[in-house]
Structure 1
């Protein structure tokens, strides 16, 4: 895709906007935890996105139905990891930890992806990746321990962080499966079918636990979750990838902990401590180092 030269200088704003929407969603997740159950907001989120996408994607889905049928199992797996396990556990974690911690833990997705790639793609990390992972994990432990590693002994006080770590771990599977299968299905067709499977996965939980009512306290959060992080952010992110390339674009994900912390500070009055700063710096440094490629030594 060729970007209009007049708009090229503004392309840097695209990934910033996408990351901002995702960061704000983390804070919204924490805020609304008091007003709606994890199952309810997760189901409503994907139901709203499904309804909004239907008139635009349905004609395209009909034309590409043979391709979708061919890959429905892969799409079902992607929905399970990316939309149900990751997002569902995130909504659960919000009941027990801060939005600031959730944002920092999200920054470890690239590190978890390296580990998952070992088992699924048989891709072994180079020395930079190993060192980067060690640095990042030290930052993660520092955040969970609230600046004092002795606090790690009392695991009961870190249940929300642990749930969020599992959520991020499952999302790493989502990214690795995308790379492994490299499905040639248009973005929004793939997203639409994944949302359909996500709704199916929610049904047993909805029937068992029921749905909370949408009211004045949670309606804004539900609508935001169903529109901006689910539909608008992915579209803007894809535009950024097309304009700037995947490698340059991916660097902007490192802004998520910072955006989340700033929004949570002003909205939820969450405090930013020195251990958050050190943990975030270690996480970002580790991720950058882990993505570094070793120099090739040319034979003379």
Structure 2
């Protein structure tokens, strides 16, 4: 079986989403062993060290473009690597990996909403319906089916942090589409990682870092290599073979993968509100993402 064969290209995004789903569970697992700031900084530092030998020459070849594009890359890094990941690591202290995985699946809906204001892309009625259905599923999971909990924000603080993280990450995708940055993807990724490290430095100076030890080193290694580098590469390959729209649909597997991993590893339970909420969220996202197909 050759991955280059279009018939098997679906394996690429599936593996990428599986890696990201496992990272959500790793994030939840490691909360008692390392601070959000420490694992976030170590993650990007490790990715930077691993990539540097391979990126020195490509960065030098594109230095003129980088001098022009660095403000945009800095902003992308802030949204995609610092704000999103930092809030996600913080949310893991207060909510479950299962909920984090489901909330991540809401990214396409937030992207559609943000695109209205930044790209002036107005959704079709079917897209609006899909967004509404997804939102109902999200609220159902966050409140665990008890809608009276909406008046008590303290009960689901972690879920709200994760919603904010996903909302900010949606800006990353919208800005990528708006700017059409003319750089090799790996060069763009490498420079964004560099900015992520720079953003962390004032907080590292102020708060310090937790030491690496037997309890947290494996998690840092996983986060710094697999979701940061391998999953990104697989996702980019999938986009080239399947196209961005078809590839993005595979993100809908994240709640399922995350829940399964969390069930067997962390012992997290799956409630009926998870089932109904996940079904509503995925249905809404599919309607929103495929509204053009329904109109054709």
Tell me what 1:154 maps to.
152
| Aligned CA-pair RMSD | 1.4
**Aligned-partner Cα distance in 1 for 2:219–2:162:** 20
The question of 1:205 aligning with 2:203 is answered yes
Question: Which secondary structure does the structure 1 equivalent of 2:8 belong to?
Answer: coil
Correspondences of 1:18-97 after superposition (within 5 Å)? 18-97=16-95
2:128 pairs with one of 116, 127, 130: 130
**Aligned-partner Cα distance in 2 for 1:80–1:69:** 18
Gap change, CA 1:290 and 1:5, over 3 Å in 2? closer
Q: How many residues align?
A: 294
In structure 2, the gaps of 5 or more residues are none
Structure holding more helix per residue: 2
User: TM-score when scaled to structure 2?
Assistant: 0.97
Q: Is the 8 A contact 2:262 2:268 kept in 1?
A: yes
Correspondences of 1:238-277 after superposition (within 5 Å)? 238-277=236-275
Gap change, CA 1:55 and 1:142, over 3 Å in 2? same
Instruction: After TM superposition, give the deviation of residue 199 of structure 1 in Å.
Output: 0.5
Instruction: After TM superposition, give the deviation of residue 169 of structure 1 in Å.
Output: 0.4
Question: Which secondary structure does the structure 2 equivalent of 1:71 belong to?
Answer: helix
The question of 1:173 aligning with 2:179 is answered no
Deviates more, 1:266-275 or 1:112-121: 112-121
Q: Deviations over 1:236-287 (max 9, x none)?
A: 1111122222222211110000000000000000001110011111001001
**Aligned-partner Cα distance in 2 for 1:6–1:212:** 42
**Aligned-partner Cα distance in 1 for 2:116–2:49:** 38
Q: Is the 8 A contact 2:2 2:8 kept in 1?
A: no
Tell me what 1:295 maps to.
295
In structure 1, the gaps of 5 or more residues are none
